[in-house]
Amino acid sequence: MKQLLILGAGTAGTMMLNKLSRALDPKDWQLTIIDKDPNHIYQPGLLFIPFGMYSVDDIIKPKSDFFPGKAKVIFSEMKVIKPVKQQVELENGDILHYDFLILATGSEIRPDEIEGMTEDLWRKSIFDFYTIEGAVALQNYLDKWEGGKMVINIAEMPIKCPVAPLEFTFLADDYFRKKGIREKVEISFVTPLDAAFTKPIAARELGGFLKNRGVKVVTDFNIGRVDNEEKKIVSWDEREVDFDLLVTIPTNMGNDVIKRSGMGDELNFVPTDKHTLQSKEWPNIFVIGDATDLPSSKAGSVAHFESEILFENLMAAINGEELSASFDGHANCFIESGDGKGLLIDFNYDTEPLPGKFPIPKVGPFSLLKETRMNHLGKLGFKWVYWNLLLKGKDLPMESSMSMAGKVFPEEIPA
């Protein structure tokens, strides 16, 4: 019996398990998935918790709800991966052998990487919204907050869902307006980038959104430390930004098991072929989702598009064939902009987000890089798609490769 191990049962690992369990004969293949946490969190829903729009119950389900019957499931911390021996060691010392391995261990926030971040003010005046604990603590804080200086700071790139800090800022503006205290809150968006977003056309558009909402933007700010006494963040080049409330998007890193196994870069992301999704070092290891070092976004949509490519290439590898499927970096993200509206962006390694209609040219119903109510409804509706179709590895009416149909070409966009 051949062994296929999937490490990590989040978005990517669960999708792969479902796809492979339908394709591989259980007489020949034992499929095993390992995760330390029995609960699956719908991470895009974390954005809404600080504003009381979702509760914790709305975004958590047992992981076992999404596993096919044929798979072996192990809930355990992984101690170390030994790629040369083709083994994974669990916390209790058990050793599992594999013929093929899928690494889907994701990324996580590491506030401890920033001097002073997790000291006196942590979860008192400094919060994250990338974890359940952080998002709930922030909701409790915002509920009672009467105003002051709110700073939203991205520590460094890459982060998962790179638009989430912008969405948080737009929703915060809307929340304070509806609460009648917007004029008492000074909002600053402090980023290590040279603009509101990584891609120029979207950065121009989204930068305009921040300006229209009266948000101060501080660019090229690489945080060095948090001064807990003076309540300010200080950059490596000694620039300072004061805060009463700091919402941090700390350094994002791959899990420490990657470090313990000597398989990652300095942020514990795994060197991966950007087209085939095969590990650059070990041909029987494939990497998917946030765990890779790819220059694509770290997003659930990316993991979904990658899952189709990885499925094809893994099946080819199993059959001793050439890896012919190629990932183009396709990403697709709804951006919540507040007041019941949103935008949508669709891009890949080579093409930045462009305006237009999606998925049907000229019709939509979604509009690219444009604020509409339909895009907001698409964002909310995605939760159902995630639980009922995406995680179960079912086909969605979306191509894994990005299409130019419906997009307006750069030369047609007025400067």
Ligand X SMILES: Cc1cc2nc3c(=O)[nH]c(=O)nc-3n(C[C@H](O)[C@H](O)[C@H](O)COP(=O)(O)OP(=O)(O)OC[C@H]3O[C@@H](n4cnc5c(N)ncnc54)[C@H](O)[C@@H]3O)c2cc1C
From 11-19, 93-101, 219-227, 402-410, span contacting ligand X (CB under 6 A): 11-19
- Identified binder of ligand X from the candidate list 31, 164, 263, 323, rule CB under 6 A: 164
Cβ closer to ligand X: 234 or 291? 291
- Please choose, from the candidates 131, 13, 8, 5, the residue with its C-alpha nearest in 3D space to the C-alpha of residue 75: 8
Choose the stretch contacting ligand X; rule: CB under 6 A; options: 3-11, 118-126, 204-212, 274-282. 3-11
Using CB under 6 A as the binding rule, whether residue 386 contacts ligand X is answered as no
Give the end-to-end CA distance of the chain in Å, rounded to a whole number: 61
State the nearest-atom distance from the C-beta of 44 to ligand X, in Å. Answer: 3
Helix axes 300-318, 11-23, angle to 10 degrees: 30
Asked if 346 and 368 touch (Cβ cutoff 8 Å), the reply is: yes
Q: Which one, 221 or 334, has the nearer CB to ligand X?
A: 334
Beta bridge partners of 334: 344
Q: Smallest distance, Å, CB 227 to ligand X? A: 26
Instruction: Specify the residue for token string 């010392």.
Output: 93
The reply to whether 338 sits near ligand X by the rule CB under 6 A is: no
C-beta of 369: minimal distance to ligand X in Å?
16
Q: What is the C-alpha separation between 408 and 394, in angstroms, rounded? A: 30
300 near ligand X (CB under 6 A): yes
- Pick 234 or 309: Cβ nearer ligand X: 309
The size of the interface with ligand X (CB under 6 A), counted in residues, is 36
Structure tokens at 67: 């596993």
Q: List the one residue from 106, 111, 116, 353 that touches ligand X (CB under 6 A).
A: 106
Identify any residues that bridge with 233 across adjacent strands, giving them in sequence order. Answer: 226, 241
* Stretch touching ligand X by CB under 6 A, among 38-46, 310-318, 337-345, 350-358: 38-46
What six digits make up the tokens of 146?
């009467």
Report cis status (omega within 30 of 0) of the bond before 158: yes
Nearest Cα to 22, choosing from 10, 35, 31? 31
Among residues 161, 171, 241, 246, the one that binds ligand X under rule CB under 6 A? 161
User: With the CA atoms of 261, 40, 368 and 166 taken in that order, what torsion angle do they form, in degrees rounded to the nearest 10?
Assistant: -80
How far is it, in rounded angstroms, from Cα 343 to Cα 137? 28
Nearer to ligand X, 131 or 235 (CB): 131
298 binds ligand X (CB under 6 A): yes
DSSP designation for 408: P
- Residue 180 CB partners (closer than 8 Å, separation 6+): none
Decide whether 44 or 338 has the Cβ nearer to ligand X. Answer: 44
Q: Which of residues 236-265 bind ligand X (CB under 6 A)?
A: 255, 257
* Residue 104 interacting with ligand X (CB under 6 A): yes
Q: Binding to ligand X by residue 10, rule CB under 6 A?
A: yes
Residue 169 binds ligand X (CB under 6 A):
no
Measure the CA–CA gap between 243 and 233, rounded to whole angstroms: 8
- Counting contacts by CB under 6 A, is residue 310 touching ligand X? no
Stretch that binds ligand X, among 190-198, 288-296, 318-326, 362-370 (CB under 6 A): 288-296
Helices 200-212 and 164-179 cross at an angle (nearest 10°) of 10
Contact flags string 116-135 toward ligand X, x per CB under 6 A: -------------xx-----
| Secondary structure (3-state) at 318 | helix
* Contacting residues toward ligand X, per CB under 6 A: 8-13, 34-37, 43-44, 46-47, 77-78, 104-106, 129-130, 160-161, 164, 255, 257, 289-291, 298-301, 303, 333-334
